[in-house]
Structure 1
Amino acid sequence: MTAFADSDDPLRARDLCLALDLPILPKHTEGIRSKLKRLVSRGILTEIEPGLFSQPRPYPDTERPELLRRGAARVAAAQCAQLG
């Protein structure tokens, strides 16, 4: 997961093999690819296009209105607590 955190770009199984100092052999790249697909199925990674994997990036608060509403409610509660 550190390789994904350090990279701004999505990675392929081959790129991850290089990051892990594994030889670029089909048995290694296919093994890594199957592990990456398992992480996708568990929601830990996303597959942007076939064979291209990345960590899901959180949305900025401005793109998720439900978070803005929750944030506004927290601010209002904090202001009421200060007044009370």
Structure 2
Amino acid sequence: MKRLVLLTLALVGGLALASCGNRSALKPAATASLPAAPYGATATPSPGDLLNPPVQTRPARSDDLIQSSDQRRSDAYDLPPR
């Protein structure tokens, strides 16, 4: 019986914690300021600029593993195991 009560309390507590998420837009706190402008930048980035990563951080995927269609040279040290 105690296990059932503990399991029920854990389930209700988990559901309560899962339902308290914030669904509004992200903004800095009223007393806090945005981070300082990066070195060399002319302006401080907005929150939207900070949340959207630049293209360099998400490079395109390349599935082409073969860079060249040339035949490989023979390898004198590519020996079968003894």
TM-score by length of 2: 0.26
Structure showing the higher helix proportion among its residues? 1
Structure showing the higher strand proportion among its residues? 1
Higher relative contact order, structure no. (Cα contacts within 8 Å, ≥ 6 residues apart): 1
